[in-house]
Amino acid sequence: MRELIDRLKAERTLPDRELLLLLTQAGSREREYLFAQARQVSQARFGSWVYTRGLIEFTNYCRCDCYYCGIRRGNQKASRYRLEPEEILRRCADGYRLGFRTFVLQGGEDPYATDQRMVALVQAIKAAHPDCAVTLSIGERSPESYRLLRQAGADRYLLRHETATPSHYARLHPPAQTLEHRMACLWELKRLGYQVGAGFMVGSPWQTADCLVADLRFLEKLQPAMVGIGPFIPHKDTPLAQFPAGTLEQTLLLLGVLRLMFPDLLLPATTALGTISPDGREQGILAGANVVMPNLSPQQVRKKYSLYDNKICTGEEAAESWANLDARMRAIGYRLAVDRGDSPGIHSVQTDMEHP
Ligand code: 5AD
């Protein structure tokens, strides 16, 4: 097993059979070895710095009906909200003072979030904070919409592929939502020059080790700047409420594998990881992750952005959340960076839009 891990580190890939072995047979000693190698790789690229992104969950209206998600259209119990642009800009200004240099606008697929409104919002944030990156995480849109948003100044786009196995995708989503369309969106976003984030849930219902290998193969093709992974966590008001959550161990294992396969990858220790274990995010960093995404949303809406049960949403103000996370990171030998945290090598690429 150690030989496999060494080979993955040296060659950044393995044949299917060996990836399967690693994903299903690694014991705790071998996982520790993997994490040590993964830390070495991330330290060589990023030192002991952890990048931050200020997450603003600006709407939980959604026209999608993903079976796992608490803000799905079909969940009548979700209490819906939308933030006003002024409020969003205030959250960015607060975040900026604390050290955030990336703002992630995340929301459900809200029909109110038209191109016109989103363009104006992106422009306003970029005008107020020209040294910051703006990341959008607002789902599947038309190529024209992605183009307009990029032109307005959006730097990055997060759109998890969720699973690269079509039959698995079909069990997690209604027929109107297809893997084919999701993947087409990801390729279009790349073509437009966004720094793209893909990703998937770990331990989602019906996921097999073969699904995970397919996810890794898809990522090898897509070569995203970022990969967001976190455990599946059931939400009580969804069709998948009765399924067990993904595990901390399996998620950490995948973080380690991803770090060895993609040394430059931006790899967040996600909120879902922090939700299944109190020190999940620290363990994520120690398994090879290098990004955290604290919540900058206003207190009163955080509970409502409930993708899964028990999502961590402490009563912390943004200021406390920076200080607390920094303290947590220092306790394991890392520090939060006051930095946009672009993908290494991205500076050779234009960050301003000229042509699309
Ligand atoms: N458990 C874990 N992650 C979830 N997401 C949505 N619902 C859940 C859940 N029940 C993730 C999806 C989505 C991201 C915004 O949140 O992967 O892309």
Residue type, 66: C
Percent of the chain clearing pLDDT 90 (strictly above): 88
Cα–ligand 1 centroid distance for 229 (angstroms): 9
- Give the mean pLDDT of 133-144: 98
Whether the pLDDT of residue 107 is over 50: the answer is: yes
Cα 39–Cα 44–Cα 46 angle in degrees, nearest 5: 85
Q: Could you tell me where the DSSP H helices lie in 173-302?
A: 179-191, 209-222, 248-261, 271-276, 280-286, 299-302
Ligand 1 shell residues, CB under 6 Å: 68-69, 160, 162, 201, 230, 232-233, 235, 272, 307-308
- Give the mean pLDDT of 309-320: 71
Cα–ligand 1 centroid distance for 95 (angstroms): 24
Q: Name which residue sits closest to atom 3 of ligand 1, judged by CA.
A: 232
Check residue 299 and give its pLDDT. Answer: 83
Cα–ligand 1 centroid distance for 354 (angstroms): 34
The minimum-distance atom of ligand 1 relative to the CA of 240 is 10
- Give the mean pLDDT of 37-45: 97
Query: Residue 323 and residue 333: Cα distance in Å, rounded?
Result: 15
The minimum-distance atom of ligand 1 relative to the CA of 307 is 7
- Give the mean pLDDT of 204-221: 98
Cα–ligand 1 centroid distance for 175 (angstroms): 18
Least confident segment among 107-116, 211-220, 346-355: 346-355
Check residue 298 and give its pLDDT. Answer: 85
Whether the pLDDT of residue 356 is over 50: the answer is: no
- Give the mean pLDDT of 309-336: 84
Query: Residue 154 and residue 152: Cα distance in Å, rounded?
Result: 6
CA-wise closest residue to 334 among 55, 103, 51, 96 = 51
Whether the pLDDT of residue 241 is over 50: the answer is: yes
Enter the pTM of the model. Answer: 0.95
Band (353; pLDDT cuts 50, 70, 90): very low
Contact (CB, 8 A) for 241 and 234: yes
Tokens standing for residue 148: 């307009």
Longest Cα–Cα distance of the chain, Å, equals: 55
Whether the pLDDT of residue 240 is over 50: the answer is: yes
Q: Using DSSP, state whether 59 is helix, strand or coil.
A: strand
Cα–ligand 1 centroid distance for 69 (angstroms): 6
Whether the pLDDT of residue 318 is over 70: the answer is: no
Query: Residue 138 and residue 266: Cα distance in Å, rounded?
Result: 19
Query: Residue 305 and residue 251: Cα distance in Å, rounded?
Result: 22
Check residue 315 and give its pLDDT. Answer: 63
Cα 224–Cα 49–Cα 348 angle in degrees, nearest 5: 45
Band (49; pLDDT cuts 50, 70, 90): very high
The minimum-distance atom of ligand 1 relative to the CA of 228 is 17
Q: What is the pLDDT of residues 247-285, one digit of tens each?
A: 999 999 999 999 999 999 999 999 999 999 999 999 999
Pocket-testing residue among 207, 308, 309, 311, ligand 1, by greatest number of atoms within 8 A of Cβ? 308
Check residue 304 and give its pLDDT. Answer: 87
Q: What is the pLDDT of residues 279-293, one digit of tens each?
A: 999 999 999 999 999
Check residue 24 and give its pLDDT. Answer: 97
Cα–ligand 1 centroid distance for 347 (angstroms): 31
Check residue 319 and give its pLDDT. Answer: 64
